[in-house]
Structure 1
Amino acid sequence: MEVDFLLIGQGLAGTVLSHRLIQEGKSVHLIDEPKANLSTRIAAGLYNPITGKKMVKTWLADSLFPEIGPLYRSLEKKLDAHFFHPRKIYRPFLSIEELNEWMGRSGDENFQDYIDQVISKPLYEEVVNPYGGVMLKNSGYVDLNRMLDSYQQYLLGEGLLTQERFDEEKLTVLEAYVEYNGIKASKVVYCNGLGSLDSRFFNFLPFAPVKGEVLELEEGFQPEEIINRGVFRITLPDGRLKVGSTYSKHDLDTGVTERAKEEILEKYDKLIRNGEKKIISHRYGIRPATRDRKPFLGKHPEYESVYIFNGFGAKGVSLVPYLSKMMTNLLLLNQEVDKDVNISRFFKYI
């Protein structure tokens, strides 16, 4: 079998990049071990333009967010599946000073695309929001499990996916092409998250794995908006709630922890007034974050046919649509990617 591109991994990165390449008329084949996509599978899929304790615009927001809707809607149309859920996000203020600050920002053109309204009094009696909050737009979540499952079935139906553990020892890399188990491709792209840590080509890159844990709850309060301050709280279509998440660089052991559950519930009780809630599930994943919190895109410095598209951490849903366009331009047009995400920033460590 001969294809233009061999992609390793069918998580979020491999799914979106292969979709872009197919849209450009290129042939692809993916190698994926489904159980290896745990970090994508447990993620909330949240895309949020205002983040952090200081509530600032997320990095590259003005470039990232215009690409989110068109990309996921094009995938929905292709797959005849629904997994893209635009939702407003309500972020309660912690002080009168924050309220005043956001009143000022509401008139700032740099924030116009993301502020729906600034609310100066409590919006919900169930939420701890004595100073009101800001209602954000251009936000929401992606049901990543449904997206990955639907795309997987599409790939299998077209004969574009091999479901097995990728064994790099079987990969032959020559100047003009690569070959793997009878599949010949002009280029190979590593989209396999933390699997790239074990690659002889990319083990110099400073991944910084982060463990995240999330809960699913049942509770009577079910607003359409996502509530986000300290923890996020998403009302799913079936009425369950997804709540999380933790962020641990040190505890990378497999399995969920009581400590993380207690941390989530403690923060949740500071956000939502005590009501009866039932824990339905508790899950974890190890995110492929990076030391400088910027993704890894680019071509290997020595091998013309070896590339990487990886390291998206907790913000993959918002990062991947825009950066996949950049990666596609590199693969098809040899157009160099931006220096902030280019793996050339680490070549001195080889």
Structure 2
Amino acid sequence: MRVDYLVVGAGIAGSVLARQLLEMGKRVMVIDEPSLSNSSKVAGGLYNPITGRKMVKTWNGDVLFEYLDGFYREWENDLDESFFYSIPIYRPFFSIEEQNEWMAKSIEPAYISYIAGIKQKPFCEDEVQNPYGGILLNKSGYLDTATLLKSFRAYLVKSGLLLESQFNPNKLQKMGGNYTYEGIDFRHLVFCDGHLSTTNPWFSWLPYRPVKGELLFIKSSVMPRVIYNRGVFVIPLGSGMCKCGSTYDHGQLDEIPTIAAKSELIDRVKSLVNFDFEVIDQKAGIRPATKDRKPFVGRHFEERNIWIFNGLGAKGVSLAPYYARQLALHMEENGALDDEVNIERFFSLF
């Protein structure tokens, strides 16, 4: 079999990139062993224009959020599946001073398109603790990553575009300007292998900072009307279920849920919401984060047809569509890569 691209990994990064390349008419084969990494399947999936304790606009948010909505909705139509949910996010204020600050920001051109409203008095008091009111955001919501990845995987299998095995570097052979791997001939090899890339023989020199994250699934008689997010997110999933998260652990890098994380998340959820709940499930994964919190995108220093699309971290849902498109255009048409994501910024480490 001859293809244009072999994509290693079928998490969010690999799946989004494979779709972008297929949409451009390229021949693609994806190789993935689903048991090796769980992070994309258990991701919170939140896309949020205003993030962090200090509530700042998401890095490069204007271009990211302009692109992602249409991308995911078109993918839903193609797969005949629902996994992209546009839901307002409500972020309570910590103080009157913060309320006043956002009253002023709400009319600034940089923020106005993301703000659905400023609540100067408590909002939905039966659901959320917000004595100082809060900010209601639009251009926000969540991606059901598990459903997306399952649906796209089924499409790849049906189309004969998935090799379900672990990539073995020792089986890769170079033949002139092309490569071969287990009977597959191709020109470009792209690694989208998440935290596993820390041991990748071509890209292990990059400054990764993987982090373990854990989520809770809770059930309540109260169904939140919006996503609540301040110190922890609470995403309504329907039928009384909510997804809550997440934690950040740079030390214990495994995918085993812990009692400590469960206790931490329960405390944080209780400090945010005003309703009782029961913990139904807990999941853990390892995010492929980076030292400077920007993705790794680009070409290997020496092997000019080996590429990486990785390091999307906790914002993968927002980052993946735009930067996968940018990489695809770079590989095919020599389009520019943003300096902030191009791995050339770390070539001195090679």
TM-score calculated relative to the size of structure 2: 0.98
Counterpart CA distance in 2 for 1:198 and 1:54 is 34
Alignment pair present for 1:276 and 2:276: yes
Moved more, 253-262 or 102-111: 253-262
Instruction: Report the equivalent of 1:91.
Output: 91
Deviation of 1:276 after TM superposition, in Å, equals: 2.8
CA contact (8 A) 1:177 1:187 kept: yes
1:174–1:305 Cα contact (<8 Å) kept: no
SS at match of 1:38: coil
Deviations 1:326-348 (A, max 9, x none): 11111101223111111111111
1:36-185 matched pairs, under 5 angstroms: 36-126=36-126, 127-185=128-186
Deviation of 1:37 after TM superposition, in Å, equals 3.7
Q: 1:39 to 1:254 in 2, by over 3 A?
A: closer
Name the CA distance, whole Å, in 2 between partners of 1:239 and 1:174: 56
1:298-317 equivalences under 5 Å are 298-317=298-317
The separation in 2 between residues aligned to 1:68 and 1:234, in whole angstroms, is 19
Q: Contact 2:254–2:286 (CA<8 Å) still a contact in 1?
A: no
Letter in 2 for 1:78: D
Q: The residue matched to 2:71 in structure 1 has which SS?
A: helix
Distance change >3 Å, CA 335–CA 175, structure 1 → 2: farther
By how many angstroms is 1:197 displaced? 1.5
Residue 208 of structure 1 corresponds to which residue in structure 2? 209
2:292 — aligned with what?
292
State the match for 2:198 in structure 1: 197
| Counterpart AA for 1:103 | M
* Aligned residues with identical type, % of pairs: 45
Q: Conserved in 2, the CA contact under 8 Å of 1:89 and 1:135? A: yes
Distance 1:276 1:318, change over 3 A: same
2: CA distance, partners of 1:222 / 1:189: 42
CA distance in 2, matches of 1:149, 1:122: 40
- The answer for the alignment partner of 1:266 in structure 2 is 267
Aligned residue number for residue 13 of structure 1: 13
Please say if residues 129 and 273 of structure 2, whose CA atoms lie closer than 8 Å, have aligned partners that are also in contact. Answer: yes
Question: Match for residue 335 of structure 2?
Answer: 335
Residues 90, 135 of structure 2: 8 Å contact kept: yes
Quote the offset at 1:55 in angstroms: 0.4
CA distance in structure 2 between the partners assigned to 1:13 and 1:167 by the alignment = 20
Q: How many residues align?
A: 349
SS of the aligned residue for 1:347 comes to helix
Provide the rounded CA distance (Å) in 1 between the counterparts of 2:272 and 2:143: 23
Residue 175 of structure 1 and its aligned partner are, at CA, apart by: 4.7
| Matching residue's letter, 1:190 | F
Give 2:344's aligned residue: 344
Code of the residue aligned with 1:112 in structure 2: it is: I
**Match of 1:219?**
220
Contact in 2 for aligned 1:176/1:304 (Cα 8 Å): no
2:48, 2:155 → 1: CA distance?
29
**Kept in 1: contact 2:297–2:343 (CA 8 A):** yes
Structure 1's 112 and 15: CA in aligned 2 closer, same or farther, altered over 3 A? same
- Aligned partners of 1:200, 1:78: CA distance in 2, in Å? 36
Aligned equivalents of 1:265, 1:216: Cα separation in 2: 10
Question: Does the CA-based 8 Å contact 2:192-2:308 persist in structure 1?
Answer: yes
Q: Is the contact between residue 173 and residue 305 of structure 1 (CA under 8 Å) also seen in structure 2?
A: no
Distance apart, 1:304 and its partner CA = 1.6
RMSD: 1.1
Question: Secondary structure at 1:109's aligned position in 2?
Answer: coil
Structure 1 residues not aligned, in runs of 5+: none
- Secondary structure of 1:100's partner? helix
Deviation at 1:174, TM superposition (A): 4.3
Is the 8 Å Cα contact of residues 223 and 239 (structure 2) preserved in structure 1?
no
Q: Does structure 1 conserve the Cα–Cα contact (< 8 Å) formed by 2:114 and 2:137?
A: yes
TM-score (norm: length of structure 1) = 0.98
**Structure 2: 5+ residue stretches without partners:** none
1:207–1:290: 8 Å Cα contact kept in structure 2?
yes
Q: Which amino acid aligns with 2:130?
A: N
| Whole-angstrom CA distance in 2 between matches of 1:198 and 1:106 | 45
d(CA) in 2 for partners of 1:175, 1:89: 52
Residue 207 of structure 1 contacts residue 288 of structure 1 at CA under 8 Å; is this kept in 2? yes
Q: Secondary structure at the match of 2:307?
A: strand
Contact 2:28 2:161 in 1 (8 A): yes
Structure 1 contact 83–144 (Cα < 8 Å) conserved: yes
Partner SS state of residue 7, structure 1: strand
Task: Give the AA of the match of 1:298.
Answer: G
Alpha-carbon distance in structure 2 between the residues aligned to 1:138 and 1:331: 30
